[in-house]
Chain A
């Protein structure tokens, strides 16, 4: 019989040795997970049923976990710009709901973009991209910022070459596409996969719609104003925003002239179609996280939501292409703009503030992965 088996001290030592080995094992496997153990397989896009299933995923670019991983790396990859300083994330910052807080954004050549950076959220449901809707899919859209001389300014072939020369990327592309060939098409596809995962569905408004939040009286009144068309002759007051910005996503993919100017400096969709009815017509943007995406409108002309609401309430500019939804829409009989009371403006803004989704802007899956790995290296 072996005495030592019953020696408590020896036993404890043995146990702790086992624990120690186990710890080493966990550390090593954790290390592998970070460096090589990227999860693979179909990516499960989770969203509430009231968003509907009219989602847009091209047949030749299914969303996979490894594709989203690569897409996120590329979204924040400054090597995709001509001077290695700018990434998509420069003009689309997570803490600002993927905008950049500027009216116009500087590209690699320091020239400013002609229009305001747009929030990237719930793009899974969008079919037409940009303020004028000129791109017909995320894949098509991404080519513009990558190659435009005033944005990232680098040909896709050059980007592909630069990534081929890195240590990490060839293996990542192999994991996603089956071989380590890096092409512009593959870059654009992976970025689009990541963008499709940018789903925001947990604002206080979403919580209210699923019965998990009781709005304040001001918020409730704001919701009502937002969704009601004014009918002064019947004594019904409203702001009718939902005609263009309505639905659970506060995005309906419409394009309108919302009366910013009677002679617009930027003709919007008219520049593409030559149709006078399209003058000053722009995408009706999502209002999700709207409190975080100042300045507002295609040219960033308004700094606060108060200014925006004042616009619809008092300063609507008439023109032949002004949307019919805003014509003669007023709380005063015969009025040309909404004419809201100051109390109503506050209530409307209380509602707009309900659209902030703090889980979205702090979701670690959407943050810059390069920051995390450089932080790790430092330690």
Chain B
């Protein structure tokens, strides 16, 4: 009897509680990858942290810190580095945000052997977590004049071949 009551309580709790538990945003990496990944805060801590400084809409310089995007992609088995040649050069990364906004990068734009420009997945601005409307993860493209590809609230990344 006691046990049944407990089970009933638990069942009730699970019904009421689940919708109210706040989830933490993660990033799904899929497509032309050898290991599909779900990136979360703990996963990002495993990488070397890099900083990039760029102006935000307020016109002031800000220091963003996070992980070099290509390092995360390598972890998923994306064809970067020595493998980025031949038809692999027709691959692109599609980044999607929580509001449905999408931007793309050619893989070569992300690869150190092609460019010194650093593109990071940032989780901090001036040492503090990104504001909810921008984060928890935002792509920061060093030196790109327009901020349009510094996509906020990143939720998913997919690697595809151009058809």
Query: Is the Cβ of A322 less than 8 Å from the Cβ of B133?
Result: yes
Contact flag A271-B19 (CB < 8 Å), given A254-B99, A255-B99: yes
> Beta-carbon contacts of B1-31 to A below 8 Å, as 1s and 0s?
0000000000000000001011101000000
B86 within 8 A of A: no
Band of interface residues on A = 20 to 34
Q: Is A273 an interface residue (CB 8 A)?
A: yes
> Does B101 interact with chain A (Cβ within 8 Å)?
yes
Q: Give the nearest-CB partner of A127 in chain B.
A: B100
Shortest Cβ gap from A59 to chain B (Å): 12
A237 contacts chain B at the CB level, 8 A cutoff: no
B 42-61 binary contact with A (CB < 8 Å = 1; else 0): 00000000000000000000
Contact: B132 with A320, CB < 8 Å? yes
Taking a contact as CB atoms under 8 Å apart, the answer to whether B101 and A254 are in contact is yes
Interface locus among A4-12, A139-147, A275-283:
A275-283
- In the complex, the chain B residue whose C-beta lies closest to that of A320 is B132
Using Cβ atoms and an 8 Å threshold, which residues of chain A touch B131?
Answer: 324
CA A69 – CA B160 in complex, angstroms?
36
Contact B25 A256 (CB under 8 A): no
| B100 and A324 form a contact (CB under 8 A) | no
A275 and B133 within 8 A (CB): no
Is B98 positioned at the interface, with any CB of A under 8 Å from its CB?
A: yes
Chain A 3-45 interface mask (CB, 8 Å, partner B; 1/0): 0000000000000000000000000000000000000000000
Structural contact, A254 and B133, CB atoms closer than 8 A: no
CA distance A253 to B134 in the complex (A): 19
Interface residues of B in 90-145 (CB under 8 A from A): 98-101, 131-134
Q: Decide if B153 is an interface residue (CB 8 Å cutoff).
A: yes
Could you say which residues of chain A place their CB within 8 Å of the CB of B23? Answer: 273-275
Residues in A whose Cβ lies below 8 Å from that of B152: 324
Asked if B21 contacts A275 (CB within 8 A), the reply is no
Known: A271-B19, A324-B152. Is A277-B101 also a contact (CB below 8 A)? Answer: no
B25 touches A277 (CB 8 A): yes
Choose one: A255, A271, A320; the contact of B98 (CB below 8 Å): A255
* Chain A positions 319 through 358: 1 when the CB is less than 8 Å from some CB of chain B, otherwise 0: 0111110010000000000000000000000000000000
If A320-B132, A324-B133, A327-B133 touch, does A274 touch B21 (CB 8 Å cutoff)?
Answer: yes
Residues of A within 8 A of B133 (CB): 277, 320-324, 327
A101: shortest Cβ distance to chain B, in Å? 28
Shortest CB distance A223–B (Å): 22
Chain A residues near B100: list those with CB within 8 A: 128, 133, 253-255
Contact of A274 with B101 in the complex, beta carbons under 8 Å: no
- State the CA gap A322–B99 with chains docked (Å): 12
Task: Tell me, rounded to whole Å, the shortest Cβ–Cβ distance linking B137 to chain A.
Answer: 11
Give the most central of B99, B132, B153: most A CB within 10 Å: B99
- Which residues does chain A contribute within 8 Å of B101, judged by CB atoms? 254
A294 CB, nearest partner CB in chain B, Å? 25
A321/B132 in contact, CB under 8 A: yes
Nearest-CB residue, chain A, relative to B20: A274
Residue ID in chain B nearest A271 by CB atoms = B19
- A275 and B132 alpha carbons, distance in the complex (Å): 11
Judging by beta carbons under 8 Å apart, are B22 and A281 in contact?
no
Name the residue of chain B whose CB is nearest to the CB of A253.
Answer: B100
A274 to B133, CA, bound (A): 16
Give the CA-CA distance A60 to B30 in the complex, in Å. 24
**Chain B contacts for A271, CB-based, 8 A:** 19
B133 — nearest CB in chain A belongs to which residue? A324
Whole-angstrom CA separation of A278 from B23 in the bound complex: 11
**Which residue of B has the minimal Cβ distance to A233?**
B59
Contact across chains for A277 and B132 when beta carbons are under 8 A apart: yes
Contact with B along A240-273 (1 / 0, CB 8 A): 0000000000000111100000000000000101
Q: Cβ of B19: which chain A residues have Cβ within 8 Å of it?
A: 271, 274
| Closest residue of A by beta carbon distance from B153 | A277
Q: Of all chain A residues, which has the CB nearest B135?
A: A277
Chain B residues near A277: list those with CB within 8 A: 25, 98, 132-133, 153
- Given A323-B133, A324-B134, A327-B133, A275-B98 contact (CB < 8 Å): yes
Smallest beta-carbon distance B133→chain A, Å = 4
Give the interface of A toward B (CB within 8 A): 128, 133, 253-256, 271, 273-278, 281, 320-324, 327
Q: Could you pull out 8 A-B pairs where Cβ atoms are within 8 angstroms?
A: A128-B100, A133-B100, A254-B99, A274-B21, A275-B98, A277-B153, A321-B133, A324-B152
Q: Which 5 A-B pairs have the closest CB atoms?
A: A324-B133, A274-B23, A254-B100, A255-B100, A254-B99
Residues of B within 8 A of A (CB): 19, 21-23, 25, 98-101, 131-134, 152-153
Q: Given A275-B25, A276-B132, output 6 extra A-B contacts at Cβ < 8 Å.
A: A128-B100, A253-B100, A274-B19, A322-B133, A323-B99, A324-B134
